[in-house]
Structure 1
Amino acid sequence: MLMNNFFFILALVSSLVLNAQDSNRPNVLFILADDLGINALNSYGNELVESPNIDQLFDEGMHFTNGYSNDPTCAPSRASILSGQYVPRHKVYRVADRYKTDKKTLEAMKYLPPEVNRVQGSGTGMSLEKITIAEAFKANGYATAAYGKWHLGKNDLQITNQGFDEGFEMTGHYDFKTSPHQDMDKSRFSADVITEKTIEFIKESKAKDQPFFAYVPFYLVHKPLEPKAEYLKHFKGKLKGNKGVGPDEIKVLAMIKSLDESVGQLIQALKDLNLEDDTIIVFTSDNGHYKTESDIFNQPYRGVKGETLEGGIRVPYIFKWKDNIEAGSSSKEPIIHVDIYPTILGLTQTNQPQNYILDGEDLSPILLGESTETVRDALVWEYTNYARWNEKKQEFASSWVNVIQMDGFKMTEDVESGNYYLYNLTTDPYETKEVAAQIPKQIEKLKNRLAQWKNEVGYEEPQLNPDRK
């Protein structure tokens, strides 16, 4: 009897210690915008944009001026964020295999790209074998939730099978769709519902005295261009007569204002619940901005969503943790989506999953002021999206490229042609002058490093296309 009491008391003390540790661990609010370009915030330099709440995060935390997505499109970049791995490891290569139903494109392709990960009965998406960042937090006592755009699979591959205690996917703005299907009023603006559900989750976690990881992947500012009427009216009036801004861009400005409104509501909820000091806030986007009339949300960079030029892969990054990350600080270090997973684990002192490869770098030494430089030597992209063969120009709208950035240089390997292109981002950040012929030694160095990366991540070599004409 005494022995049973001893074990009961020991278990009780252990439980109390664990709960005390949990209650002292910082929460994480991770906000992911959709298709928000590097020049789509006022704080990042676009004076046309109204984003006071996100700008406040910018002022109160650290922002990165050379932040990148892992892919210029949605699904692969999101898989890299959630899995912490480069594209060849998680195998969510593309949003869709459109080339398979485009006869002209298929017949023009010299090579077939690797197949997207597919699960029988559930379609394409991220494998359940991947240990998501949510699973890492959940294994360490965190409550986890995700409401918003998932884009990593349905059925067995849905949100709550990938480490999230609660959540469901919402796509679209008005008359949004849900997966799994939810019986709810879908005529509302989806960002309002995402914000509302996330705040409910935060309140529940607070009531349980449990640290939380809230992943908030908004559908804003993805197409269709469906802004709230009052914000559209506001910008139409404000920019009347401004011929430098197109009608689509006015709609995007209104949608960014809605995104900012939701971010403000989330921040206010943390303050109302006395959680601001104990919560790490991360804000970024999944890829660069889509094309608009004057591309004002990508400038001054070349390229748009779907391209590996800087405008297609550069995105804003903001990290805030009151009294821990210096307010108003910045870093010019090149960072990428796969860094988010190890960084948030590092900031919260959460254990990394065992026997699982994380391709990114823990940026917490930079964020906490202990270092100013990253350790790694290179960033790499594999983009395998074949699309829209143009018979007249004899070119694809996009095809298979591998890209490496190292020593301030950016080299692109065009798999179809076997050609290599080089830009010196240190002196030419806007990619105006191709310099491969002038610096052959740099090309060889980057080719060797790219080959090393391919070997490390299990890169699938190009296979000849039997349907080529």
Structure 2
Amino acid sequence: MDSSRHQSQARPNLVFILADDLGYADLGCYGGRAPVSPNLDRLAAEGVRFTDAYANSPVCSPSRFALMTGRYQYRLRGGAEEPMTGRARGQQHLGLPPEHPTLPSLLREQGYRTALIGKWHLGFPPHFGPLKSGYGEFYGPYGGGVDYFTHCDRSGTHDLYEDEREVERSGYLTDIISERALNWLQAAPADSPFMLSVHYTAPHWPWETRFDEAESARIRGAIQHTDGGSVETYQTMIRHMDEGIGRILDVLASKGLAENTLVVFTSDNGGERFSDTWPLSGKKMDLLEGGIRVPLIARWPARIPPGGVTAQVAMTMDWCPTMLDAAGIAPAATHAPDGISLLPCLADPAQASPRKVFWRMKYRAQRAVRQDNWKYLSVDGNEYLFDLSRDARERANLASREPGMLDVLRQCYQDWAQEMPDIPAEAGFELVYTPKDMP
């Protein structure tokens, strides 16, 4: 065997599984109170579980910009949309620029097969799309939430595509995504490394399980956020996703690929209205911990010891440099990552490096910094300081007791913000809840 083929076979396969709006404590391995995740719990037992992992944003699209680029989403105009909704259709400035280096484009340049199965949410054709940003194959919706049976968005626009061709397909979307991922893996050649992104829409609203096609018919595909749903429905939606993930893991094992495949599971932001985020407070849209802290599990038997738990602070954007590092590929010299490689922590979960990370949100003028166990939070001009090691629920404001630390973190935020483009005044914003939604 020649050395180039041996090197190709030695490089790991990469499977990145992304849930949508999953709460920090929804899974059993994170203390979940319902048996919804036996396969993800198994994945955690066979790999490493992060206790202090974060999404780059408390809403969908911005976190996906960070995942794809390895950089703070604020560096790109599209990353200022919170989230990117149907108003982005046809817009030339609201999307992931095709010329920007991405995780799949850099991998593909070095011989990886790449595919995205599931939600894109980074801009619409003809200007943007997965095939323009490094994926060799795509199957899923271009936009955000869609009905699980009609596959239409809130405006009633059908949104299911194979590559750049609209397709009609009957069935429950979570199962369709799982089945398509299984088929792709079954057909994967043994002598070529691959990156497979499986981006579920579950458990994002509308609140529909596999057995709720009648609910879809009732709302006539005009998906509803607050009309309907329950904790039981939400938990069943997670269980459907978990079943598909279990089948993906089984295929990797049956093909002899599990040992040298890095599998990562996380969520694009914190939990929604029916999710469990205990002991955290806040939900999606908030820079409180419940809006940004997410489950994160990684398994790679060749490199990660089983049963690990780490307090390493990690963010969505870290997976671009981490997976490139795992594949022996350098980031683009023209676009230095803001994220870090987590490989040292994956190999030794006890090895947690000090970290300083930042967030900002147009909604309610939110801004936040985490440095070690300290967190600075500003909401509507009100400032808070929390010691997360003692108060993960963020109930004890230490701003007046620790004015020196408050000053330090406030200045850290201001210095960081100077490096980021301003949020454009015209940047769109969509409320997840309106005042009439909640008591």
Is the structural similarity TM-score above 0.5? yes
Partner of 1:189: 172
Aligned residue identity for 1:434? N
Aligned residue identity for 2:204? H
Q: What are the ranges of 5 or more consecutive residues in structure 1 without an aligned counterpart?
A: 1-12, 99-115, 233-245, 386-398
Partner of 2:40: 54
- 2: CA distance, partners of 1:97 / 1:198: 25
Q: What are the ranges of 5 or more consecutive residues in structure 2 without an aligned counterpart?
A: 152-158, 215-227, 428-439
Aligned residue identity for 1:420? E
Aligned counterpart for 2:422 among listed residues 445, 453, 460: 460
- 2: CA distance, partners of 1:66 / 1:51: 20
Distance 1:120 1:300, change over 3 A: same
Alignment of 1:4-83 (within 5 A): 16-83=2-69
- Which structure has the larger Rg over C-alpha atoms? 1
- 2: CA distance, partners of 1:139 / 1:181: 21
Distance 1:462 1:402, change over 3 A: farther
Aligned residue identity for 1:312? G
2:89/2:124 contact within 8 Å kept: no
Tell me if 1:95 matches 2:74: no
Aligned residue identity for 1:277? E
- 1: CA distance, partners of 2:424 / 2:407: 20
SS, match of residue 207 in structure 2: coil
Distance 1:193 1:123, change over 3 A: farther
Shift, 1:300, TM fit: 1.7
1:423/1:431 contact within 8 Å kept: yes
Partner of 1:131: 101
Partner of 1:451: 414
Shift, 1:333, TM fit: 1.6
Distance 1:452 1:78, change over 3 A: same
- 2: CA distance, partners of 1:370 / 1:71: 25
Partner of 1:140: 110
Shift, 1:218, TM fit: 0.5
Partner of 2:358: 380
Alignment of 1:97-176 (within 5 A): 121-122=91-92, 124-155=94-125, 156-170=127-141, 171-176=146-151
Shift, 1:63, TM fit: 0.6
1:325/1:368 contact within 8 Å kept: yes
Tell me if 1:347 matches 2:318: no
Shift, 1:185, TM fit: 4.5
Partner of 1:314: 293
Distance 1:162 1:428, change over 3 A: same
Distance 1:30 1:435, change over 3 A: same
1:202/1:212 contact within 8 Å kept: no
1:119/1:125 contact within 8 Å kept: no
Shift, 1:202, TM fit: 2.3
2:308/2:349 contact within 8 Å kept: no
Partner of 1:367: 346
User: CA RMSD, aligned part only?
Assistant: 2.6
Tell me if 1:213 matches 2:185: no
- 1: CA distance, partners of 2:38 / 2:15: 18
Tell me if 1:434 matches 2:397: yes
TM, length-normalised to structure 2: 0.85
- 2: CA distance, partners of 1:464 / 1:203: 46
Shift, 1:172, TM fit: 3.5
Tell me if 1:422 matches 2:385: yes
Distance 1:379 1:183, change over 3 A: closer
Shift, 1:96, TM fit: 4.7
SS, match of residue 71 in structure 1: coil
* Displacement over 3 Å in runs of 4+: 95-98, 118-123, 179-185, 461-465
Q: Deviations over 1:222-245 (max 9, x none)?
A: 000111129x9xxxxxxxxxxxxx
Aligned counterpart for 1:200 among listed residues 172, 179, 183: 183
Q: Deviations over 1:135-166 (max 9, x none)?
A: 11111110000011111011121111110001
Greater mean deviation of Cα atoms: 182-191 or 54-63: 182-191
Q: Deviations over 1:418-456 (max 9, x none)?
A: x32211212211111112122111111001211221233
1:363/1:374 contact within 8 Å kept: no
Distance 1:279 1:405, change over 3 A: same
Partner of 2:280: 301
- 2: CA distance, partners of 1:335 / 1:131: 21
Tell me if 1:403 matches 2:365: no
- 2: CA distance, partners of 1:330 / 1:198: 28
Aligned counterpart for 2:314 among listed residues 307, 314, 335: 335
1:123/1:154 contact within 8 Å kept: no
Partner of 1:4: none
SS, match of residue 229 in structure 1: coil
SS, match of residue 422 in structure 2: coil
1:366/1:372 contact within 8 Å kept: yes
Greater mean deviation of Cα atoms: 184-193 or 427-436: 184-193
- 2: CA distance, partners of 1:349 / 1:81: 18
1:160/1:168 contact within 8 Å kept: no
2:15/2:197 contact within 8 Å kept: yes
Shift, 1:369, TM fit: 1.8
- 2: CA distance, partners of 1:191 / 1:364: 30
Aligned residue identity for 1:328? G
Distance 1:316 1:461, change over 3 A: closer
TM, length-normalised to structure 1: 0.79
SS, match of residue 43 in structure 1: helix
Q: Deviations over 1:18-54 (max 9, x none)?
A: 3331122110011001111111101111131321111
